[in-house]
Amino acid sequence: MIIDVSSEEALRDELLKQQEILGHVQKIDAIGRISGGIAHDFNNLLAVVLGNAELVNDADLPPDDAESIDAIIKACFKGAELTRRLLTYARKARLEPEILDVNEVVAQSSIMMSRILPESISINTITHPDLWQCIADRNFLENSLLNLCINARDAMANGGALIIETKNAHFKETDAEVTSDYIDAGKYVSISVTDTGTGIPPEHIDKVTEPFFTTKGPDMGTGLGLAMVDGFAKQSSGTILIESGLGKGTTIRLLLPSNGKLAGGRQTTEGSGSDPKMVGAGTILVVEDEPGILSMLKKILTTAGFETFYCTDADSAFEEFGNDADHIDVLLSDMVMPGTLQGRALATLMTERYPRMRVVFMSGYANETNVSFEGPENVDKFLMKPVKRTELVEALNNSVAKALTPKD
């Protein structure tokens, strides 16, 4: 008697595949929760250090002291970048997608690469002349290209060639990339980074995007670079594809969504590239429960010239100003605080009573800022801690201007 068990084997293989996918999703979620909690507390600490360091930096310090303060400020931003990498892997970073000309981004990045890569590595860029527009966060795309090029550099210790190439990619439902669940059908911009280095062992291909996994030697990386690129791609509704052979080099292809329109000149979000002044005007209600951050905000806003009022939680803010806020131009509030009311609820109540009032949110946790505000369109900005003093003052000045502009 012969029994055909092929269908049972196929079902078993499919179940094993689904279990593997579920385990990976659960791992990402666990890392996301852990990194999110770490980021919240760590970014609050960095906010205190950065804010006070910038204030001290205004003083007429001796050169050695000024150099020390500058080192502290730079360390704060490096710490913030580390938490962003963790959050990007977990797909919890706050992205600000815009329409981009990727050829222009690649051209700018290539200039920087030529300065950090050794002369033993040649750089060649091949850009598609009719490239589509790309929809992605410019800063994260630039960081992703940097990480990919640094990985390529490390794989070519004895020199070699680095090629950055852009193409249009239109995937159909029947394409292998779609049927393998790597990506949805549709139009994408492809940015590939190819090196002639040592290559990745076949058994490591599926592991290189995991956080802290690295094929490099000791003290040669955190193992977060490729994980960050993968997280950024997937959070942007794209993906990365990896082809590699031992001794033959590696190609990593970054696919990001496109609207199918031809790319033109650089398009940026409103307000980017500006040179904000460190002088403020207007009346600000600050709601922040962390004593160190509240103290730092008092110094920064007072020094800038804002008229300010302070509360340590949303409940006391609404109790004190809920019926007396005609003079308040902007509510600057944390998102999550002790008590019954939270930042979003406070903003809703205050803007319903005082329609001209504008809102700026701050948070040390990306998930808190990566939400849409359900209510009146009074929320102007979500700031991720730690925040540069110039960025904070600029955001508040912009909101004050809106609050003082009469509505038609």
Residues 294, 361 within the same domain: yes
Q: Are residues 141 and 20 in the same domain?
A: no
Domain boundary pick from 33, 60, 89: 89
Given the DSSP bridges, would you call strands 249-262 and 239-245 parallel, antiparallel or unpaired? antiparallel
Sheet holding 330-334, edge to edge: 307-311, 283-287, 330-334, 358-363, 379-384
For all residues of the chain together, what is the average pLDDT? 79
What letter would DSSP give residue 203?
G
Q: What is the CATH number of the domain that holds 17?
A: 1.10.287
On whether residue 269 sits in a domain, the answer given is no
Contact 259, 116 (CB under 8 A): no
- Is residue 3 assigned to a domain? no
Helices vs. strands in the chain: H and E counts, helices first: 11, 12
pLDDT of residue 3: 57
Mean pLDDT, residues 349-373 taken together: 75
Burial class (CB in 10 A: 0-12, 13-18, 19+), 145: buried
Q: State which of 230, 262, 294 marks the end of a domain.
A: 262
Q: What is the pLDDT of residue 162?
A: 92
Checking if the pLDDT of 241 tops 60, the result is yes
Look at the chain and report how many structural domains it folds into: 3
pLDDT in tens, 38-51: 666 777 777 888 87
Q: Are 295 and 387 in the same domain?
A: yes
| Whole-number Å distance between alpha carbons of 362 and 356 | 20
Q: What letter represents residue 382's amino acid?
A: F
In a domain, 267, yes or no: no
389 — pLDDT class (breaks 50, 70, 90): confident
**CA–CA separation, 102 and 106 (whole Å):** 6
CA gap 1, 7 in Å, rounded? 17
From 311, 303, 263, 269, select the one nearest 287 (Cα to Cα). Answer: 311
In a domain, 276, yes or no: no
Q: 3-state class of 286 per DSSP? A: strand
**Residue 102 domain-assigned (yes or no):** yes
- Do 105 and 72 share a structural domain? no
pTM: 0.49
Residue 277 falls inside a structural domain: no
What pLDDT is attached to residue 276?
41
Domain co-membership, 360 together with 343: yes
Residue 25 clears pLDDT 60, i.e. is over it:
no
Expressed as residue numbers, the domain containing 46 is 8-89
239 and 112 in a common domain: yes
Q: What is the CATH number of the domain that holds 334?
A: 3.40.50.2300
**What are the Cα distances from residue 83, in Å, to 36, 94, 146, 193, 223?**
8, 12, 17, 25, 14
Residue 256 bridge partners (DSSP): 189
256 and 125 both lie in a single domain: yes
User: How many degrees, rounded to 5, is the angle at CA 211 between CA 207 and CA 217?
Assistant: 75
Reported as a single tens digit per residue, the pLDDT across 67-107 is 788 888 877 777 776 666 666 555 455 667 888 999 999 98
